[in-house]
Structure 1
Amino acid sequence: MRTGIATVCLSGTLKEKMQACAIAGFDGIEIFEQDLVTSPLTPEDVRKMAADLGLTLDLYQPFRDFDSVSEDLLAANLRRAEAKFKLMARLGMDTILVCSNVASASIDSDDLRVEQLGKLAALAVDHGVKVAYEALAWGKYVNDYEHAHKLVEAVDHPNLGTCLDSFHILSRNWDTTPIQAFNPEKIFFVQVADAPKLSMDVLSWSRHYRVFPGEGQFELAKFMGHVVRAGYTGPVSLEIFNDVFRQSDVERTAVDAMRSLIWLEEQSAKWLEAASDSGVGGGAGGTATGGTQAPGRRRYPMELATLPQVTEPAGYNFAEVRAADTKGLETVLGQLGFEFNGRHRTKAVQLWSMGHARVIVNETAHLEGDTSAEDASPAIAALGFDVDSPVIASARAQQLKAPAVPRKSQANEEVFQGFAAPDSTEVFLCQGTSDGTAAWTREFGEGLEKPAAGPSAVIDHVNLAQPWQHFDEAVLFYTSALALEPQPFAEVPSPTGLIRSQVMATGDRAVRLVLNLAPLNQQRKTYQEHIAFAVDDLVATARDCKARGLEFLQIPANYYEDLDARFGLAPDFLATLKDLNLLYDRDADGEFLHFYTATVGSVFFEMVERRGAYDGYGAPNAPVRHAVQYDHLQHR
């Protein structure tokens, strides 16, 4: 699959954008007109630079409001088009995007549109240009891709084709099945964009809220499957209008963009295979393969690459917290009931465990590579996941542009496969075992081939704060690299405003990862994050913690009055909750008990007990936690 991206997707100058696209590995780019107009580079400079960077110049865009106009305006539009055609010759480009007219003064006549598009195509012949006609979702009279395609077919000119843009199609909920019957020679260009499903006017939605594939809710794999079935072989190019992306680091955004196309290519291949297996036939562009190919299976002119296949993680292997001064962390872990298992024989790290829940305390001055960390206070630095094959999973992540973060290991020490997540958290892939043990624990103290004695516990979930400019990137990263599935996101009230919370999880909930959008005025590693541990009996655990002197997050009495009003709990049980600063929630599937510790640096811990099939996180209690933590922060 040939990959492309429109320069409008990125921040910076045209030169910076082109360099970033080359670094990210794109095959080609679309030149957005404003980027060229505002650049000091001449068209010849741009052409040479693209060649030097190994980039093709695939599309010049946009050319607006051409069709459905009066004769005098048509003459002006043709003069404008010819000027752009001459400019494209200097750039060495041969395809231009022409959008359907959005002007209210335009004329509603398909016959007129066919006549005028025909004149444009005839003019394009003289300059060696192909015209890709696109139906804008808010076009005045042409807002449906099938309508645009019918106009192209009616003109019947080799220099006029259609541009298929996933946003304009899927934002209007148009069925994409007809695409597979299109003549591929009439599909001149394909643009893709994802988006969250929002209730707003489609123009504003398009201009501000598009995201890269995998970061929204559109069925892009199905869209691309139908494009592939049609026999299209041209570029698949990103066109993303997003306020955040255009304020973010250009190289990082370009890498995120490339990752999204790699992911989309794989998902499209999977969709095609599943559709073939279900007996859904191919389109006109596909030719059947021979041999032992399954009935209905097709091979298409566009070849879609896939990645090393991995299953979702089986669970958390460990969580790591780094700090220059670890005394506060050691105290809290001991009060929670974790057992100190000694220091590593060659590294400045400690191991603490409770059942299968393991916490590594790294006695390091600062987070490597995290320039946002202003101090060395405790912060979550790494997560370990149990996977079937760490080597294969690591290879997949690296193909998805995840930077490797190897750790130095000496003889007879576990070699972890690792890479960095968008928020700088290090992700390590560990060899999963059926009994939940970890061989690397033998490198600490006397060795812990078996789980530590004490209460049964596992890591239930981890809550990570994400920088505002990389939140969508993180969702795609964990989806594509770790096979976690995004759940419906929530917005939680706090004293600093609404906090967007996105849960990523495995199907069996063995891994639950919560991504919170950090406030704009707080960097990721200074905003509070936490690790939650699940136990069988939270009341007994809380009493033990209290006896050991644990500082609980103090829950206001008003909360318990409201709790009683909502659930009508037994007086003794309510008194126990209040005495131990426990929070409670209940739904149709079960009950949830939990408590929080005070914060150490930017880290705090949560202990939870899930009763029945409760699958949430105590969302009604989140505003209470945020308010209490905010109050503590203001008064310390």
Structure 2
Amino acid sequence: MRTSIATVCLSGGLVDKLHACAAAGFDGVEIMDADLVAAVESPEEIRALCARLGLTIDLFQPLRDCEGVDDATFADNLRRARAKFEVMRRLGASMVLVCSNVGTATIADPEVAARQLGQLADAAAEYGISIAYEALAWGRFVDDYRDAWNIVERADRANLGVCLDSFHVLSRGHDPAGIEGIDPAKLFFLQLADAPSLDMDVLSWSRHHRLFPGEGQFDLTTFLSHVLRAGYTGPLSLEVFNDTFRQTDVTRTAAHAHRSLRWLYNSTVRANGQLDAQVAPPQPPHAVDFVEISGSDLSSVEQILDQLGFDFGGGHRTKAVRLWRAGEASIVLSEEPRAGEPHIEGIGFTVTDAQAAKRHAVSIGATPRFRRTRAGDAELPTVSAPDGTGIYWSSASTAESWVAEFEGGQTSEIDSLHGVIDHLNVALPWHEFDEAVLFNIGVLALDPGTSADLAGPYGLVRSQVMRTRDGSVRLAMNLAPPTAPLQPRHIAIRVDDVIAAAERARRSGLPSLPIPDNYYDDLHARFGLDDEFLHLLRELNLLYDRDANGSFLHFYTPTVGKVFFEIVERRGAYDGYGAASTPVRLVAQEDRRAG
């Protein structure tokens, strides 16, 4: 697989973009005309830089609105094209993209379009250049890849073929199966982009909301399967117009982009039964094994865990690390002088094959992470998530092995909390959200679940749940408005009796997050709860939700640094997260933060 990317996907100047593409592992680039025009370097200097970086120039993109016009307009278009062909000669680019006419076309006749593209191809041939013709989804007369192929067939030039773009095909709902009917020798280029499902005009959708593969709702695995079965042998290239990616760090975005291509290719190969022995399959997690909290002073976190009813599981025999357990829920506290405020540092997952999980992660671009161990310590393969969080894996058959590293633990069965980690709630800044979605899909093999927009004190908060199909692992990702402060992350522990857990915590002196009386008046109006039960909820600051499948009760601890805890109980087959209560929680936390 050869990989390529359009420079329009990235921020910065052309030289910075090229360095970032090479560092990320791309084989080639599509150079946008606007990037070259704005560069102080000459085409010859850009050509030399690409050669030093090991990048091929796979495509040049300067030509728009060429075909379907009157003879006078076409003559001027041909003059314009020859000037760009001369630039391409200096640049060392041998293929140019020609998009279907969206602005100046006046003749809806495929014969005219074929004749003019043929003449354009003849001029390009004088410079050793091939033309890849692409049907734009908003093209004036040509907006379907099948129409573009028809015109290319009519023109019948050796250096004229088609460019397929997943956005232009899938955004219009065109069936990609027809790609397999195109002459493979005429499949000149492939551009890939994902996108969310949006109800808006296709031009704005394309220009502002494309995503890297795996981050949207397009079925790119099926699309790419059709392209590969058709006989395409060129590079897999990304063309993603996105306002966020044009503002984020160029090196990180390029690495993110390359990871998306590797994930898509691996997924497509597996979907077609063409298993590659060098590519380990993904390892869906069975459960959250532990959550690691780090900080320079974790005494307040330990106090909360003790008040909740966690048992002290002992201190690590060689490190400043302590273990607290509540049944199957394990919290590892790592205290380091320069670690700052308490925060979630790592997440451990149990999988069938921990080493295979890491191999798969590294194969699609995850960064391996070193874990300091001593003789006798468990081996936990580790990588870093894009935000720096450590991801650890342990094989299901040896999930308890690392626990033996902790000594001096105590158990108080009489008043202990027993539960499992129900979900983790992870807040992310606006420019890291899509990258995290791709990581959770590609590396952790989680599926996108429900998504909702929730009202917060600083605007709407977008919540996207990523989960295993059986719900044993759930990550709720929150995207706050760009100007809002980043929310703390939290760990939700599921218990069988949340009322008993709340009463135990109160007896131990743990202050719960105060919930306003207006919330309980609203609960009474919505659900018609009896007075005794409503009084109990109010007294214990419990939140409540109910649907046709069951109900959900939960409460929150105070926030310490950048982390807090939630204790939840699911009754019946309730599968949500109490979303209707989230605005109340966010305001209550903001009130507490503000004093």
- TM-score, normalised on structure 2? 0.97
Counterpart amino acid of residue 456 in structure 2: S
Q: Secondary structure at the match of 2:545?
A: strand
What residue in structure 2 maps to residue 381 of structure 1?
345
What residue in structure 2 maps to residue 162 of structure 1?
162
Matches within 5 A, 1:44-123: 44-103=44-103, 106-123=106-123
Please point out which of 377, 382, 395 is paired with 1:431.
395
Please point out which of 322, 325, 333 is paired with 1:353.
325
Please point out which of 491, 495, 518 is paired with 1:531.
491
How big is each residue's C-alpha offset from its partner over 1:364-401, in whole Å with a ceiling of 9 and x where there is no partner? Answer: 2344xxxxxxxx12111111111111111111111221
What residue in structure 1 maps to residue 15 of structure 2?
15
How far did 1:270 drift? 2.8
Please point out which of 357, 364, 388 is paired with 1:393.
357
Kindly tell me: are residues 98 and 227 of structure 1, through their superposed partners in 2, closer, same or farther at Cα, counting changes over 3 Å?
Answer: same
The answer to whether the 8 Å contact 2:67/2:105 transfers is no
Q: Secondary structure at the match of 2:325?
A: strand
Kindly tell me: are residues 560 and 523 of structure 1, through their superposed partners in 2, closer, same or farther at Cα, counting changes over 3 Å?
Answer: closer
Matches within 5 A, 1:40-439: 40-103=40-103, 106-273=106-273, 307-367=279-339, 376-433=340-397, 438-439=400-401
Counterpart amino acid of residue 335 in structure 1: Q
How far did 1:491 drift? 1.1
Deviates more, 1:227-236 or 1:450-459: 450-459
How far did 1:455 drift? 3.4
Q: Secondary structure at the match of 2:503?
A: helix
Paired with 2:206 and 2:471, the residues of 1 have a C-alpha distance of: 34
Counterpart amino acid of residue 303 in structure 2: T
- Tell me whether 1:470 sits opposite 2:442 in the alignment: no
Paired with 1:539 and 1:488, the residues of 2 have a C-alpha distance of: 27
- Tell me whether 1:564 sits opposite 2:524 in the alignment: yes
How far did 1:573 drift? 1.2
Percent identical? 51
Paired with 1:135 and 1:365, the residues of 2 have a C-alpha distance of: 59
What residue in structure 2 maps to residue 608 of structure 1?
568
How far did 1:405 drift? 1.7
Counterpart amino acid of residue 259 in structure 1: R
The answer to whether the 8 Å contact 1:441/1:447 transfers is no
Paired with 2:349 and 2:109, the residues of 1 have a C-alpha distance of: 60
Counterpart amino acid of residue 454 in structure 1: S
- Tell me whether 1:575 sits opposite 2:539 in the alignment: no
Paired with 1:304 and 1:107, the residues of 2 have a C-alpha distance of: 49
Paired with 2:79 and 2:413, the residues of 1 have a C-alpha distance of: 78
Paired with 1:594 and 1:240, the residues of 2 have a C-alpha distance of: 41
How far did 1:306 drift? 6.9
- Tell me whether 1:37 sits opposite 2:1 in the alignment: no
How far did 1:571 drift? 1.7
The answer to whether the 8 Å contact 2:133/2:160 transfers is yes
The answer to whether the 8 Å contact 1:67/1:117 transfers is yes
Paired with 2:186 and 2:291, the residues of 1 have a C-alpha distance of: 53
- TM-score, normalised on structure 1? 0.91
The answer to whether the 8 Å contact 2:537/2:543 transfers is yes
Q: Secondary structure at the match of 2:408?
A: coil
The answer to whether the 8 Å contact 1:442/1:448 transfers is no
The answer to whether the 8 Å contact 1:269/1:306 transfers is no
How big is each residue's C-alpha offset from its partner over 1:486-516, in whole Å with a ceiling of 9 and x where there is no partner? Answer: 1132111101111111111011111011111
What residue in structure 2 maps to residue 281 of structure 1?
none
The answer to whether the 8 Å contact 2:546/2:552 transfers is yes
The answer to whether the 8 Å contact 1:61/1:96 transfers is yes
The answer to whether the 8 Å contact 1:7/1:29 transfers is yes
How far did 1:41 drift? 1.3
How far did 1:90 drift? 1.1
The answer to whether the 8 Å contact 2:315/2:408 transfers is no
How far did 1:522 drift? 5.7
Kindly tell me: are residues 397 and 467 of structure 1, through their superposed partners in 2, closer, same or farther at Cα, counting changes over 3 Å?
Answer: same
Paired with 2:130 and 2:507, the residues of 1 have a C-alpha distance of: 78
Deviates more, 1:158-167 or 1:108-117: 108-117
Q: Secondary structure at the match of 1:103?
A: coil
Kindly tell me: are residues 255 and 448 of structure 1, through their superposed partners in 2, closer, same or farther at Cα, counting changes over 3 Å?
Answer: farther
Paired with 2:488 and 2:481, the residues of 1 have a C-alpha distance of: 11
Q: Secondary structure at the match of 2:179?
A: helix
The answer to whether the 8 Å contact 1:182/1:230 transfers is yes
Kindly tell me: are residues 387 and 530 of structure 1, through their superposed partners in 2, closer, same or farther at Cα, counting changes over 3 Å?
Answer: same
Paired with 2:27 and 2:371, the residues of 1 have a C-alpha distance of: 33
- Tell me whether 1:624 sits opposite 2:588 in the alignment: no
Paired with 2:413 and 2:460, the residues of 1 have a C-alpha distance of: 40
The answer to whether the 8 Å contact 1:356/1:451 transfers is no
Q: Secondary structure at the match of 2:450?
A: coil
Please point out which of 526, 545, 548 is paired with 1:588.
548
How big is each residue's C-alpha offset from its partner over 1:306-346, in whole Å with a ceiling of 9 and x where there is no partner? Answer: 73013310101111111111121111111100112222111
Please point out which of 456, 464, 486 is paired with 2:448.
486
Counterpart amino acid of residue 426 in structure 2: L
What residue in structure 2 maps to residue 287 of structure 1?
none
Unaligned runs of 5+ in 1: 274-298, 368-375
Paired with 2:300 and 2:72, the residues of 1 have a C-alpha distance of: 78
- Tell me whether 1:498 sits opposite 2:470 in the alignment: no
Paired with 2:277 and 2:36, the residues of 1 have a C-alpha distance of: 33
Paired with 1:270 and 1:570, the residues of 2 have a C-alpha distance of: 54
How big is each residue's C-alpha offset from its partner over 1:387-446, in whole Å with a ceiling of 9 and x where there is no partner? Answer: 111111111111221112221111111122111111221111122249xx6221222123
Counterpart amino acid of residue 210 in structure 1: R
The answer to whether the 8 Å contact 1:62/1:99 transfers is no
Deviates more, 1:176-185 or 1:100-109: 100-109
Q: Secondary structure at the match of 2:407?
A: coil
How far did 1:271 drift? 3.1
The answer to whether the 8 Å contact 1:354/1:453 transfers is no
Unaligned runs of 5+ in 2: none
Paired with 2:338 and 2:198, the residues of 1 have a C-alpha distance of: 40
Counterpart amino acid of residue 446 in structure 1: G
The answer to whether the 8 Å contact 1:11/1:246 transfers is yes
Q: Secondary structure at the match of 2:190?
A: strand
Counterpart amino acid of residue 74 in structure 1: F
Counterpart amino acid of residue 293 in structure 2: V
Paired with 1:377 and 1:586, the residues of 2 have a C-alpha distance of: 36
The answer to whether the 8 Å contact 2:111/2:154 transfers is no
The answer to whether the 8 Å contact 1:489/1:502 transfers is yes
Paired with 1:449 and 1:125, the residues of 2 have a C-alpha distance of: 80
What residue in structure 2 maps to residue 510 of structure 1?
472
What residue in structure 2 maps to residue 371 of structure 1?
none
How far did 1:452 drift? 11
How big is each residue's C-alpha offset from its partner over 1:139-192, in whole Å with a ceiling of 9 and x where there is no partner? Answer: 111111101110000111111111000001101010001101110111111100
What residue in structure 2 maps to residue 284 of structure 1?
none
What residue in structure 1 maps to residue 501 of structure 2?
541
Paired with 2:506 and 2:557, the residues of 1 have a C-alpha distance of: 11
The answer to whether the 8 Å contact 1:266/1:306 transfers is no
Kindly tell me: are residues 266 and 16 of structure 1, through their superposed partners in 2, closer, same or farther at Cα, counting changes over 3 Å?
Answer: same
The answer to whether the 8 Å contact 1:339/1:452 transfers is no
How far did 1:234 drift? 0.8
The answer to whether the 8 Å contact 2:190/2:237 transfers is yes
The answer to whether the 8 Å contact 2:493/2:566 transfers is yes
The answer to whether the 8 Å contact 1:354/1:451 transfers is no
How far did 1:448 drift? 8.6
Kindly tell me: are residues 498 and 402 of structure 1, through their superposed partners in 2, closer, same or farther at Cα, counting changes over 3 Å?
Answer: same
